[in-house]
Structure 1
Protein backbone atom coordinates (compact mmCIF):
# COMPACT_ATOMS: atom_id res chain seq x y z
CA UNK A 1 0.00 0.00 0.00
CA UNK A 2 1.17 3.53 -0.68
CA UNK A 3 0.95 6.17 2.05
CA UNK A 4 -2.57 7.58 1.36
CA UNK A 5 -4.03 4.07 1.01
CA UNK A 6 -2.41 2.74 4.19
CA UNK A 7 -3.37 5.89 6.06
CA UNK A 8 -7.04 5.50 5.06
CA UNK A 9 -7.00 1.81 5.99
CA UNK A 10 -5.42 2.50 9.40
CA UNK A 11 -7.82 5.38 10.07
CA UNK A 12 -10.82 3.15 9.39
CA UNK A 13 -9.34 0.32 11.44
CA UNK A 14 -8.56 2.51 14.45
CA UNK A 15 -11.85 4.40 14.44
CA UNK A 16 -14.00 1.27 14.22
CA UNK A 17 -11.98 -0.61 16.85
CA UNK A 18 -12.19 2.31 19.23
CA UNK A 19 -15.98 2.43 18.91
CA UNK A 20 -16.81 -1.28 19.24
CA UNK A 21 -14.47 -2.15 22.13
CA UNK A 22 -17.03 -1.33 24.80
CA UNK A 23 -19.53 -3.18 26.96
CA UNK A 24 -22.73 -3.31 24.98
CA UNK A 25 -25.62 -5.59 24.12
CA UNK A 26 -23.97 -7.22 21.12
CA UNK A 27 -20.60 -7.71 22.81
CA UNK A 28 -22.22 -9.17 25.93
CA UNK A 29 -24.13 -11.68 23.81
CA UNK A 30 -21.04 -12.71 21.84
CA UNK A 31 -19.08 -13.11 25.09
CA UNK A 32 -21.74 -15.33 26.61
CA UNK A 33 -21.93 -17.54 23.52
CA UNK A 34 -18.14 -17.74 23.43
CA UNK A 35 -18.05 -18.88 27.05
CA UNK A 36 -20.59 -21.58 26.23
CA UNK A 37 -18.70 -22.43 23.00
CA UNK A 38 -21.95 -22.42 21.04
CA UNK A 39 -22.04 -21.44 17.36
CA UNK A 40 -19.00 -19.18 17.76
CA UNK A 41 -17.93 -19.19 14.10
CA UNK A 42 -21.39 -18.31 12.67
CA UNK A 43 -21.73 -15.57 15.29
CA UNK A 44 -18.34 -14.05 14.45
CA UNK A 45 -19.07 -14.22 10.70
CA UNK A 46 -22.52 -12.65 11.18
CA UNK A 47 -21.13 -9.76 13.24
CA UNK A 48 -18.37 -9.12 10.69
CA UNK A 49 -20.73 -9.17 7.70
CA UNK A 50 -23.31 -6.99 9.47
CA UNK A 51 -20.74 -4.37 10.46
CA UNK A 52 -19.15 -4.41 7.01
CA UNK A 53 -22.57 -3.90 5.41
CA UNK A 54 -23.57 -1.06 7.75
CA UNK A 55 -20.21 0.70 7.37
CA UNK A 56 -20.42 0.41 3.59
CA UNK A 57 -23.95 1.83 3.60
CA UNK A 58 -22.79 4.70 5.80
CA UNK A 59 -19.86 5.51 3.51
CA UNK A 60 -22.21 5.30 0.51
CA UNK A 61 -24.53 7.93 1.97
CA UNK A 62 -27.06 6.41 4.37
CA UNK A 63 -25.76 8.61 7.21
CA UNK A 64 -27.17 11.64 5.37
CA UNK A 65 -30.47 9.82 4.76
CA UNK A 66 -30.95 9.00 8.46
CA UNK A 67 -30.09 12.57 9.45
CA UNK A 68 -32.76 13.83 7.06
CA UNK A 69 -35.47 11.54 8.50
CA UNK A 70 -35.40 11.63 12.34
CA UNK A 71 -38.45 9.34 12.64
CA UNK A 72 -36.34 6.45 11.35
CA UNK A 73 -34.00 6.80 14.33
CA UNK A 74 -36.98 7.09 16.70
CA UNK A 75 -38.50 3.86 15.39
CA UNK A 76 -35.20 2.00 15.81
CA UNK A 77 -34.82 3.34 19.34
CA UNK A 78 -38.32 2.22 20.36
CA UNK A 79 -37.90 -1.25 18.88
CA UNK A 80 -34.45 -1.63 20.37
CA UNK A 81 -35.67 -0.63 23.85
CA UNK A 82 -38.39 -3.29 23.80
CA UNK A 83 -36.00 -5.98 22.56
CA UNK A 84 -33.31 -5.20 25.15
CA UNK A 85 -35.86 -5.03 27.95
CA UNK A 86 -37.10 -8.53 27.09
CA UNK A 87 -33.58 -9.96 26.87
CA UNK A 88 -32.59 -8.22 30.11
CA UNK A 89 -35.56 -9.84 31.86
CA UNK A 90 -34.41 -13.26 30.66
CA UNK A 91 -30.86 -12.64 31.88
CA UNK A 92 -32.17 -11.46 35.26
CA UNK A 93 -34.29 -14.60 35.55
CA UNK A 94 -31.25 -16.78 34.88
CA UNK A 95 -29.23 -14.89 37.50
CA UNK A 96 -31.96 -15.35 40.11
CA UNK A 97 -32.41 -19.09 39.48
CA UNK A 98 -29.29 -21.08 40.45
CA UNK A 99 -30.67 -24.16 38.72
CA UNK A 100 -30.81 -22.37 35.38
CA UNK A 101 -27.04 -21.95 35.03
CA UNK A 102 -25.61 -23.74 31.99
CA UNK A 103 -21.93 -24.54 32.23
CA UNK A 104 -19.79 -24.77 29.05
CA UNK A 105 -20.32 -28.14 27.44
CA UNK A 106 -23.45 -28.96 29.47
CA UNK A 107 -27.00 -29.17 28.19
CA UNK A 108 -28.26 -28.84 24.65
CA UNK A 109 -27.04 -25.94 22.59
CA UNK A 110 -29.62 -23.40 21.48
CA UNK A 111 -30.60 -23.84 17.81
CA UNK A 112 -28.42 -21.78 15.49
CA UNK A 113 -31.50 -20.12 13.98
CA UNK A 114 -32.60 -18.80 17.37
CA UNK A 115 -29.11 -17.58 18.20
CA UNK A 116 -28.77 -15.70 14.90
CA UNK A 117 -32.22 -14.14 15.31
CA UNK A 118 -31.26 -12.84 18.74
CA UNK A 119 -27.96 -11.55 17.40
CA UNK A 120 -29.78 -9.83 14.53
CA UNK A 121 -31.93 -8.07 17.10
CA UNK A 122 -28.89 -6.85 19.03
CA UNK A 123 -27.36 -5.66 15.78
CA UNK A 124 -30.18 -4.16 13.73
CA UNK A 125 -32.58 -3.04 16.47
CA UNK A 126 -29.87 -1.15 18.34
CA UNK A 127 -29.68 2.51 17.31
CA UNK A 128 -26.23 2.74 18.88
CA UNK A 129 -25.02 0.23 16.29
CA UNK A 130 -26.27 2.54 13.54
CA UNK A 131 -24.77 5.55 15.26
CA UNK A 132 -21.33 3.90 15.46
CA UNK A 133 -21.19 2.16 12.08
CA UNK A 134 -23.45 4.12 9.73
CA UNK A 135 -23.29 7.65 11.13
CA UNK A 136 -19.88 8.02 12.80
CA UNK A 137 -17.70 5.61 10.83
CA UNK A 138 -19.70 6.12 7.64
CA UNK A 139 -19.49 9.91 7.83
CA UNK A 140 -15.72 9.86 8.30
CA UNK A 141 -15.30 7.34 5.49
CA UNK A 142 -17.45 9.37 3.13
CA UNK A 143 -14.98 12.25 3.47
CA UNK A 144 -12.11 10.16 2.10
CA UNK A 145 -11.13 11.12 -1.43
CA UNK A 146 -12.15 8.87 -4.30
CA UNK A 147 -11.24 5.20 -3.95
CA UNK A 148 -9.58 5.87 -0.57
CA UNK A 149 -13.03 5.66 1.06
CA UNK A 150 -13.17 1.96 0.22
CA UNK A 151 -9.75 1.33 1.76
CA UNK A 152 -11.11 3.10 4.82
CA UNK A 153 -14.14 0.79 4.71
CA UNK A 154 -11.88 -2.27 4.44
CA UNK A 155 -9.88 -1.12 7.45
CA UNK A 156 -13.01 -0.54 9.54
CA UNK A 157 -14.49 -3.91 8.57
CA UNK A 158 -11.18 -5.64 9.38
CA UNK A 159 -11.24 -4.13 12.88
CA UNK A 160 -14.75 -5.49 13.40
CA UNK A 161 -13.77 -8.98 12.26
CA UNK A 162 -10.67 -9.01 14.45
CA UNK A 163 -12.56 -7.81 17.52
CA UNK A 164 -15.44 -10.29 17.30
CA UNK A 165 -13.11 -13.20 16.54
CA UNK A 166 -11.03 -12.31 19.58
CA UNK A 167 -14.11 -11.86 21.77
CA UNK A 168 -15.83 -15.06 20.67
CA UNK A 169 -12.83 -17.37 20.71
CA UNK A 170 -10.91 -15.60 23.48
CA UNK A 171 -13.83 -16.06 25.87
CA UNK A 172 -12.81 -19.69 26.37
CA UNK A 173 -9.74 -18.49 28.27
CA UNK A 174 -12.19 -17.56 31.03
CA UNK A 175 -13.78 -21.04 30.99
CA UNK A 176 -12.11 -22.22 34.26
CA UNK A 177 -13.69 -19.30 36.10
CA UNK A 178 -17.10 -20.05 34.62
CA UNK A 179 -17.07 -23.67 35.75
CA UNK A 180 -18.65 -22.24 38.89
CA UNK A 181 -22.39 -21.49 38.66
CA UNK A 182 -21.95 -18.34 40.76
CA UNK A 183 -19.79 -16.85 37.99
CA UNK A 184 -22.65 -17.31 35.51
CA UNK A 185 -25.04 -15.67 37.97
CA UNK A 186 -22.74 -12.66 38.23
CA UNK A 187 -22.30 -12.47 34.44
CA UNK A 188 -26.03 -12.68 33.79
CA UNK A 189 -26.66 -10.09 36.50
CA UNK A 190 -24.24 -7.72 34.78
CA UNK A 191 -25.76 -8.47 31.38
CA UNK A 192 -29.27 -7.79 32.74
CA UNK A 193 -28.13 -4.47 34.24
CA UNK A 194 -26.49 -3.42 30.95
CA UNK A 195 -29.60 -4.39 28.95
CA UNK A 196 -31.95 -2.50 31.28
CA UNK A 197 -29.70 0.57 31.20
CA UNK A 198 -29.48 0.55 27.41
CA UNK A 199 -33.24 -0.04 27.12
CA UNK A 200 -33.87 2.96 29.37
CA UNK A 201 -31.54 5.16 27.34
CA UNK A 202 -33.15 4.09 24.08
CA UNK A 203 -36.66 4.68 25.44
CA UNK A 204 -35.60 8.15 26.53
CA UNK A 205 -34.16 8.82 23.07
CA UNK A 206 -37.37 7.63 21.44
CA UNK A 207 -39.94 9.32 23.64
CA UNK A 208 -38.26 11.75 26.01
CA UNK A 209 -35.89 13.70 23.76
Structure 2
Protein backbone atom coordinates (compact mmCIF):
# COMPACT_ATOMS: atom_id res chain seq x y z
CA UNK A 1 0.00 0.00 0.00
CA UNK A 2 2.82 2.41 0.84
CA UNK A 3 4.48 1.73 -2.51
CA UNK A 4 1.20 2.44 -4.33
CA UNK A 5 0.77 5.66 -2.34
CA UNK A 6 4.29 6.86 -3.11
CA UNK A 7 3.90 5.97 -6.80
CA UNK A 8 0.72 8.06 -6.98
CA UNK A 9 2.39 10.91 -5.11
CA UNK A 10 5.47 11.05 -7.36
CA UNK A 11 3.88 10.31 -10.73
CA UNK A 12 0.90 12.61 -10.28
CA UNK A 13 3.05 15.28 -8.69
CA UNK A 14 5.13 15.46 -11.86
CA UNK A 15 2.03 15.61 -14.04
CA UNK A 16 0.39 18.36 -11.97
CA UNK A 17 3.52 20.52 -12.05
CA UNK A 18 3.63 20.20 -15.84
CA UNK A 19 0.10 21.62 -16.35
CA UNK A 20 1.26 25.19 -16.76
CA UNK A 21 -1.87 27.28 -17.26
CA UNK A 22 -3.47 26.14 -14.03
CA UNK A 23 -0.27 26.70 -12.05
CA UNK A 24 0.34 30.13 -13.56
CA UNK A 25 -3.16 31.30 -12.67
CA UNK A 26 -3.09 30.04 -9.09
CA UNK A 27 0.35 31.56 -8.55
CA UNK A 28 -0.69 34.92 -9.99
CA UNK A 29 -3.73 34.98 -7.69
CA UNK A 30 -1.55 34.06 -4.71
CA UNK A 31 0.93 36.85 -5.46
CA UNK A 32 -1.97 39.30 -5.62
CA UNK A 33 -3.50 37.68 -2.51
CA UNK A 34 -6.77 37.61 -4.40
CA UNK A 35 -8.95 34.66 -3.30
CA UNK A 36 -5.87 32.47 -3.83
CA UNK A 37 -6.81 29.80 -1.30
CA UNK A 38 -10.22 29.43 -2.94
CA UNK A 39 -8.51 29.03 -6.33
CA UNK A 40 -6.00 26.51 -4.98
CA UNK A 41 -8.73 24.59 -3.15
CA UNK A 42 -10.84 24.34 -6.29
CA UNK A 43 -7.84 22.94 -8.18
CA UNK A 44 -7.31 20.36 -5.44
CA UNK A 45 -10.97 19.30 -5.51
CA UNK A 46 -10.98 19.11 -9.32
CA UNK A 47 -7.90 16.89 -9.30
CA UNK A 48 -9.29 14.54 -6.66
CA UNK A 49 -12.57 14.20 -8.58
CA UNK A 50 -10.79 13.58 -11.89
CA UNK A 51 -8.31 11.10 -10.40
CA UNK A 52 -11.16 9.17 -8.79
CA UNK A 53 -13.30 9.31 -11.93
CA UNK A 54 -10.43 8.03 -14.03
CA UNK A 55 -9.86 5.07 -11.72
CA UNK A 56 -13.60 4.32 -11.79
CA UNK A 57 -13.51 3.90 -15.57
CA UNK A 58 -14.82 7.17 -16.99
CA UNK A 59 -11.75 7.17 -19.25
CA UNK A 60 -13.45 4.43 -21.31
CA UNK A 61 -16.47 6.65 -21.93
CA UNK A 62 -14.23 9.56 -22.94
CA UNK A 63 -12.36 7.36 -25.41
CA UNK A 64 -15.70 6.39 -26.96
CA UNK A 65 -16.40 10.06 -27.82
CA UNK A 66 -13.06 11.47 -29.05
CA UNK A 67 -14.84 14.51 -30.52
CA UNK A 68 -15.39 15.77 -26.96
CA UNK A 69 -11.64 16.18 -26.49
CA UNK A 70 -11.38 18.19 -29.71
CA UNK A 71 -14.15 20.55 -28.65
CA UNK A 72 -12.41 21.08 -25.31
CA UNK A 73 -9.10 21.60 -27.10
CA UNK A 74 -10.31 24.54 -29.19
CA UNK A 75 -12.28 26.07 -26.35
CA UNK A 76 -9.07 25.89 -24.38
CA UNK A 77 -7.08 27.54 -27.18
CA UNK A 78 -9.51 30.46 -27.31
CA UNK A 79 -9.71 30.90 -23.54
CA UNK A 80 -5.96 30.66 -22.94
CA UNK A 81 -5.36 33.06 -25.83
CA UNK A 82 -7.74 35.54 -24.21
CA UNK A 83 -5.92 35.22 -20.87
CA UNK A 84 -2.59 35.76 -22.66
CA UNK A 85 -3.84 38.95 -24.33
CA UNK A 86 -5.09 40.27 -20.99
CA UNK A 87 -1.72 39.57 -19.37
CA UNK A 88 0.19 41.29 -22.19
CA UNK A 89 -2.08 44.34 -21.93
CA UNK A 90 -1.41 44.55 -18.18
CA UNK A 91 2.32 44.15 -18.80
CA UNK A 92 2.23 47.00 -21.31
CA UNK A 93 0.23 49.38 -19.15
CA UNK A 94 1.88 48.49 -15.87
CA UNK A 95 0.14 48.42 -12.52
CA UNK A 96 0.80 48.50 -8.81
CA UNK A 97 0.61 45.49 -6.56
CA UNK A 98 -2.96 44.46 -5.91
CA UNK A 99 -4.17 43.37 -2.51
CA UNK A 100 -7.33 41.49 -1.66
CA UNK A 101 -10.16 43.95 -1.24
CA UNK A 102 -8.40 46.66 -3.26
CA UNK A 103 -10.47 48.53 -5.84
CA UNK A 104 -10.44 46.70 -9.15
CA UNK A 105 -9.78 43.30 -7.58
CA UNK A 106 -11.56 40.30 -9.06
CA UNK A 107 -14.64 38.93 -7.37
CA UNK A 108 -14.58 35.48 -5.80
CA UNK A 109 -17.06 34.29 -8.42
CA UNK A 110 -14.81 35.52 -11.23
CA UNK A 111 -11.74 33.86 -9.74
CA UNK A 112 -13.54 30.53 -9.29
CA UNK A 113 -14.91 30.65 -12.84
CA UNK A 114 -11.49 31.35 -14.33
CA UNK A 115 -9.91 28.63 -12.18
CA UNK A 116 -12.44 26.10 -13.47
CA UNK A 117 -11.85 27.27 -17.05
CA UNK A 118 -8.05 26.92 -16.97
CA UNK A 119 -8.53 23.52 -15.32
CA UNK A 120 -11.29 21.99 -17.43
CA UNK A 121 -10.63 23.54 -20.86
CA UNK A 122 -7.23 21.89 -21.19
CA UNK A 123 -7.52 18.50 -22.96
CA UNK A 124 -4.17 17.49 -21.50
CA UNK A 125 -5.82 17.44 -18.08
CA UNK A 126 -8.22 14.73 -19.23
CA UNK A 127 -5.54 12.75 -21.02
CA UNK A 128 -3.44 12.77 -17.86
CA UNK A 129 -6.09 12.29 -15.18
CA UNK A 130 -8.53 10.03 -17.04
CA UNK A 131 -6.14 8.01 -19.21
CA UNK A 132 -2.49 8.11 -18.17
CA UNK A 133 -2.98 8.06 -14.39
CA UNK A 134 -5.60 5.23 -14.42
CA UNK A 135 -3.28 3.21 -16.69
CA UNK A 136 -0.53 3.49 -14.10
CA UNK A 137 -2.88 3.11 -11.15
CA UNK A 138 -4.35 -0.10 -12.54
CA UNK A 139 -0.93 -1.71 -12.24
CA UNK A 140 -0.58 -0.88 -8.54
CA UNK A 141 -1.24 -3.23 -5.67
CA UNK A 142 -3.74 -0.80 -4.12
CA UNK A 143 -5.72 1.51 -6.40
CA UNK A 144 -7.13 3.35 -3.38
CA UNK A 145 -3.66 4.10 -2.03
CA UNK A 146 -2.57 5.24 -5.49
CA UNK A 147 -5.46 7.71 -5.73
CA UNK A 148 -4.70 8.90 -2.18
CA UNK A 149 -1.10 9.53 -3.21
CA UNK A 150 -2.20 11.39 -6.35
CA UNK A 151 -4.61 13.51 -4.32
CA UNK A 152 -1.90 14.27 -1.76
CA UNK A 153 0.37 15.50 -4.56
CA UNK A 154 -2.32 17.94 -5.69
CA UNK A 155 -2.99 19.20 -2.16
CA UNK A 156 0.71 19.70 -1.43
CA UNK A 157 1.46 21.40 -4.74
CA UNK A 158 -1.43 23.85 -4.88
CA UNK A 159 -1.16 24.52 -1.16
CA UNK A 160 2.50 25.35 -1.74
CA UNK A 161 1.67 27.66 -4.65
CA UNK A 162 -0.96 29.52 -2.64
CA UNK A 163 1.26 29.89 0.42
CA UNK A 164 4.49 30.60 -1.45
CA UNK A 165 2.98 33.15 -3.81
CA UNK A 166 1.31 34.97 -0.94
CA UNK A 167 4.53 34.94 1.11
CA UNK A 168 6.48 36.47 -1.79
CA UNK A 169 3.90 39.19 -2.39
CA UNK A 170 5.60 41.81 -0.15
CA UNK A 171 8.75 41.50 -2.27
CA UNK A 172 6.81 42.36 -5.42
CA UNK A 173 5.67 45.86 -4.57
CA UNK A 174 7.34 47.65 -7.50
CA UNK A 175 5.37 48.12 -10.75
CA UNK A 176 8.27 46.70 -12.79
CA UNK A 177 7.84 43.39 -10.95
CA UNK A 178 4.22 43.23 -12.13
CA UNK A 179 5.24 43.97 -15.72
CA UNK A 180 7.62 41.02 -15.60
CA UNK A 181 5.09 38.71 -13.91
CA UNK A 182 2.31 39.58 -16.34
CA UNK A 183 4.68 39.22 -19.27
CA UNK A 184 5.77 35.76 -18.16
CA UNK A 185 2.18 34.70 -17.51
CA UNK A 186 1.18 35.96 -20.96
CA UNK A 187 4.02 34.04 -22.61
CA UNK A 188 3.10 30.87 -20.73
CA UNK A 189 -0.60 31.09 -21.59
CA UNK A 190 0.15 31.89 -25.24
CA UNK A 191 2.66 29.05 -25.45
CA UNK A 192 0.20 26.52 -24.07
CA UNK A 193 -2.56 27.76 -26.40
CA UNK A 194 -0.20 27.49 -29.38
CA UNK A 195 0.85 23.98 -28.36
CA UNK A 196 -2.78 22.89 -28.08
CA UNK A 197 -3.59 24.40 -31.48
CA UNK A 198 -0.61 22.78 -33.20
CA UNK A 199 -1.47 19.41 -31.63
CA UNK A 200 -5.06 19.75 -32.86
CA UNK A 201 -4.01 20.64 -36.41
CA UNK A 202 -1.46 17.83 -36.44
In the other structure, the counterpart of 1:184 is: 178
Are 1:198 and 2:192 matched, yes or no? yes
Between the aligned partners of 1:23 and 1:153, the Cα distance in structure 2 is: 18
In the other structure, the counterpart of 1:155 is: 149
- The alignment's TM-score, normalised by the length of structure 2, stands at 0.92
Deviation at 1:23, TM superposition (A): 6.4
In the other structure, the counterpart of 1:144 is: 140
Are 1:14 and 2:20 matched, yes or no? no
The aligned length equals 201
Between the aligned partners of 2:115 and 2:145, the Cα distance in structure 1 is: 27
Matches within 5 A, 1:16-165: 16-22=12-18, 24-98=20-94, 100-104=95-99, 106-145=102-141, 148-165=142-159
Do the aligned residues in 1 keep the contact of 2:30 with 2:37 (CA within 8 Å)?
no
Structure 1 residues 121-172: Cα deviation after superposition (integer angstroms, max 9, x where no partner): 0000011222222222122113334xx1111101100110110001011112
Deviation at 1:117, TM superposition (A): 0.3
Matches within 5 A, 1:164-175: 164-175=158-169
Deviation at 1:200, TM superposition (A): 1.2
Between the aligned partners of 2:38 and 2:148, the Cα distance in structure 1 is: 20
Between the aligned partners of 1:94 and 1:20, the Cα distance in structure 2 is: 27
- Runs of 4+ in structure 1 off by over 4 angstroms are none
Between the aligned partners of 2:99 and 2:189, the Cα distance in structure 1 is: 23
SS of 2:18 mapped into structure 1:
coil
Unaligned runs of 5+ in 2: none
Between the aligned partners of 2:171 and 2:127, the Cα distance in structure 1 is: 34
Between the aligned partners of 2:177 and 2:155, the Cα distance in structure 1 is: 28
Between the aligned partners of 2:171 and 2:136, the Cα distance in structure 1 is: 40
Between the aligned partners of 1:78 and 1:95, the Cα distance in structure 2 is: 26
Do the aligned residues in 2 keep the contact of 1:61 with 1:142 (CA within 8 Å)?
no
The 10-residue stretch of structure 1 (101-110 or 37-46) with the greater mean CA deviation from structure 2: 101-110
- The alignment's TM-score, normalised by the length of structure 1, stands at 0.89
Unaligned runs of 5+ in 1: none
Do the aligned residues in 1 keep the contact of 2:97 with 2:174 (CA within 8 Å)?
no
Between the aligned partners of 2:152 and 2:55, the Cα distance in structure 1 is: 15
Between the aligned partners of 1:150 and 1:168, the Cα distance in structure 2 is: 27
Between the aligned partners of 1:94 and 1:101, the Cα distance in structure 2 is: 10
